[in-house]
Structure 1
Amino acid sequence: MTQKKLVHVTQVPIRWGDMDVYEHVNNTIYFRYAEQARIEWMENLGHRLSLSQTQGPVIVNASCTFMIPLTYPGTVEVRMLIGPLGRSSVETYYEMRMVGEDRLYADGAAKVVWVDIETGKSCPIPDSLRELMASDAS
């Protein structure tokens, strides 16, 4: 079993436009909620994403299990966890609940790989960022 460590918690308001014809949050939006948590975590570590970077994180796979539909109005609490760090990657995990509730509405995962933008090949996570990620995970 993979060791997971909580590294970030955020709250995201559910917008009316997040809903679909079935009156619940569209499945694609859950990935946006996870993305928001992931970007905030990286920025909190001091890593600002920009279009001028020569290296950066990409998602190579992502999954989500939908247990209870999220609906408007409300606010989602996204808890982000990480597993052991690889040389160029980190497994991330997400738990989504409505603020103030213990019930798990959805959970998911995404593998983040550090990539050289020019070559499209994986490269090591920068040492300074890797150290911060490792300390966050301990």
Structure 2
Amino acid sequence: MTHATPTQAPTRRLILTTRIPVRWGDMDAYGHVNNTVYFRYFEQARVEWLEQAGSAVTPDNPVAPVIINASCTFLIPVNYPSTVVVRMYAGEPGRSSVMTWYELGVEGDDRLYSEGASKVVWMDPGTGKSVPLPDAIRAGVS
């Protein structure tokens, strides 16, 4: 009988921490932040990271980061009023992509409220084909 070797957890590097106020309109009929809004919080962290790394999402940028998958595990409901704290992590870069992970908490509370992930791929908007990661992105996650 052979035993499988446990897979090694991917290497993650903290690349950004941001705080986002919860808006009244973020809530749903149950009185807590709607599940779709968590993806917007992760998106905001990702956009801030891209801007800081010199790869802002703009129509005139010759390469564009796109998301090819995204996930979120909801652990504790977030309520208004509060400020969410999103920590964004990146994995080892590939040729044209990097895996990212998110931890979402609430300011003043040490508990983990949700966690998520997304794979970001750089592409040429004109062709729709993947392109190598920009040097600044590669350097920032390596």
Q: Structure 2 counterpart of 1:120, which letter? A: G
Counterpart among 98, 113, 125 of residue 105 in structure 1: 113
**Equivalence for 1:11:** 19
Q: Structure 2 counterpart of 1:79, which letter? A: R
Counterpart among 102, 125, 129 of residue 133 in structure 2: 125
Q: Structure 2: how far apart are the matches of 1:45 and 1:53?
A: 13
Q: What do residues 25-82 of structure 1 show as CA deviations (whole Å, max 9, x unaligned)?
A: 0111000100111111111122222112231100000000000001100000000001
Alignment: residue pair count: 134
Q: Which runs of 5+ in 2 are unaligned?
A: 1-8
SS at match of 1:105: strand
Counterpart among 79, 84, 95 of residue 87 in structure 1: 95
Q: Structure 1: how far apart are the matches of 2:93 and 2:63?
A: 17
SS at match of 1:103: strand
Cα pair 1:45 1:133 within 8 Å, conserved: no
Q: Structure 1 counterpart of 2:13, which letter? A: K
| Alpha-carbon distance change, 53 to 133 in structure 1, aligned in 2, over 3 angstroms | same
What is the root-mean-square deviation in Å for CA atoms of aligned residues?
1.0
Q: Structure 2: how far apart are the matches of 1:69 and 1:132?
A: 32
Q: Structure 2: how far apart are the matches of 1:128 and 1:99?
A: 31
SS at match of 2:60: coil
SS at match of 1:43: helix
SS at match of 2:112: coil
Residue 13 of structure 1, CA deviation: 0.2
Q: What do residues 81-138 of structure 1 show as CA deviations (whole Å, max 9, x unaligned)?
A: 011110100000000000011100000000000011011111111224322332xxxx
Q: Structure 2: how far apart are the matches of 1:129 and 1:94?
A: 18
Q: Which runs of 5+ in 1 are unaligned?
A: none
**Equivalence for 2:44:** 36
SS at match of 1:85: coil
The correspondence of residues 63-74 of structure 1 with structure 2, limited to 5 A, is 63-74=71-82
Larger-gyration structure (1/2): 2
Q: Structure 2: how far apart are the matches of 1:128 and 1:13?
A: 29
